[in-house]
Amino acid sequence: MSGLKQAAWDWIDQNRERLIEVSDKIWEYAELGFVEVKSAKLLVDELERQDFKVAMEVAGIPTAFVATWGSGGPVIGIMGEYDSIPGVSNKAVPVKDPLIEGGPGHGCSHNIHGVSGLGGALAVKVAMDKAEVPGTIKFFGCPAEEMLSGKVWMVRDGVFNGVDACLSHHPNSLNTASLQSSNANNSVKFHFYGKTAHAAGSPEQGRSALDAVELMNIGVNYMREHVIEKARLHYIIEEGGYQPNVVPDYARVWYLIRAPERDQVDHIYDWVLRIAEGAALMTGTTYKVEFKKAIYNKMPNKTLSKLVIANMREIGAPTYSDEELAFAAKIAEVVPMQAKMDSLRKRKIPEWKRYVDVNLVTDILNPWNEGNVSAGSTDVADVSWNTPTMEFSTTTVVLGTPGHSWTTVATSGMSIGHKSLLFAAKTMAGAALELMTDRDLLKKAQDELKERLAGRKYTSPLPPDAKPPLDQWI
Q: Is 34 inside any structural domain?
A: yes
Question: How much is the pLDDT for 358?
Answer: 96
Q: Are residues 291 and 301 in the same domain?
A: no
Mean pLDDT within 34-55: 98
Q: Are residues 212 and 111 in the same domain?
A: no
Mean pLDDT within 29-58: 97
Q: Are residues 153 and 16 in the same domain?
A: yes
pLDDT(148) > 90 = no
Residue 393 DSSP SS3: strand
pLDDT tens sequence across 438-466: 999 999 999 999 999 999 999 999 988 88
The least confident of 77-86, 211-220, 367-376 is 367-376
Q: What does pLDDT average to over the chain?
A: 96
Query: What's the number of domains the chain is made of?
Result: 2
Q: Is 62 inside any structural domain?
A: yes
At residue 295, φ and ψ (nearest 5 deg) are: -140, 165
Question: How much is the pLDDT for 173?
Answer: 96
b/e per residue 355-383 (b: at least 16 CB within 10 A): beebbbbeebbebebeebbbeebbbbbbb
Q: What is the rounded CA–CA span in Å between residue 80 and residue 383?
A: 13
Q: Is 472 inside any structural domain?
A: no
Q: Are residues 41 and 175 in the same domain?
A: yes
Q: List Cα–Cα distances, 358 to 266, 409, 410, in angstroms.
A: 41, 20, 18
Mean pLDDT within 342-357: 91
Q: Are residues 265 and 385 in the same domain?
A: no
Q: What is the rounded CA–CA span in Å between residue 275 and residue 278?
A: 5
pLDDT bin (cut points 50, 70, 90) of residue 352 is very high
Give the end-to-end CA distance of the chain in Å, rounded to a whole number. 48
Q: Are residues 301 and 411 in the same domain?
A: yes
Helix axes 110-131, 37-49, angle to 10 degrees: 10
Q: Is 279 inside any structural domain?
A: yes
Residue 181 DSSP SS3: strand
Q: What is the rounded CA–CA span in Å between residue 419 and residue 175?
A: 12
Final residue before a domain boundary, out of 271, 295, 319: 295
Q: Are residues 305 and 426 in the same domain?
A: yes
Question: How much is the pLDDT for 471?
Answer: 87
CATH number of the domain that residue 291 is part of: 3.30.70.360
Domain membership of residue 430 as a residue range: 2-182+297-453
Mean pLDDT within 327-343: 94
pLDDT bin (cut points 50, 70, 90) of residue 147 is confident
Q: Is 465 inside any structural domain?
A: no
Mean pLDDT within 123-151: 95
pLDDT(473) > 90 = no
pLDDT tens sequence across 274-323: 999 999 999 999 999 999 999 999 999 999 999 999 999 999 999 999 99
Q: Is 339 inside any structural domain?
A: yes
Share of the chain above pLDDT 70, in %: 100
Share of the chain above pLDDT 90, in %: 93
167/374: higher pLDDT: 167
Question: How much is the pLDDT for 454?
Answer: 95
Alpha helices in 385-438 (DSSP H): 406-412, 415-437
Final residue before a domain boundary, out of 272, 295, 318: 295
Q: Are residues 223 and 101 in the same domain?
A: no
Q: Count Cβ atoms within 10 A of the Cβ of residue 466 and give its class: 0-12 exposed, 13-18 middle, 19 or more buried.
A: middle
Q: List Cα–Cα distances, 237 to 171, 258, 398, 455, in angstroms.
A: 30, 18, 32, 40
Q: Are residues 246 and 352 in the same domain?
A: no
Final residue before a domain boundary, out of 295, 315, 334: 295
Q: Are residues 263 and 350 in the same domain?
A: no
Q: Is 470 inside any structural domain?
A: no
Q: What is the rounded CA–CA span in Å between residue 314 and residue 62?
A: 38
Q: Are residues 217 and 306 in the same domain?
A: no
Q: What is the rounded CA–CA span in Å between residue 248 and residue 401?
A: 39
pLDDT(1) > 70 = no
pLDDT bin (cut points 50, 70, 90) of residue 265 is very high
Q: Is 463 inside any structural domain?
A: no
Q: Are residues 17 and 81 in the same domain?
A: yes
CATH number of the domain that residue 118 is part of: 3.40.630.10
Mean pLDDT within 139-148: 93
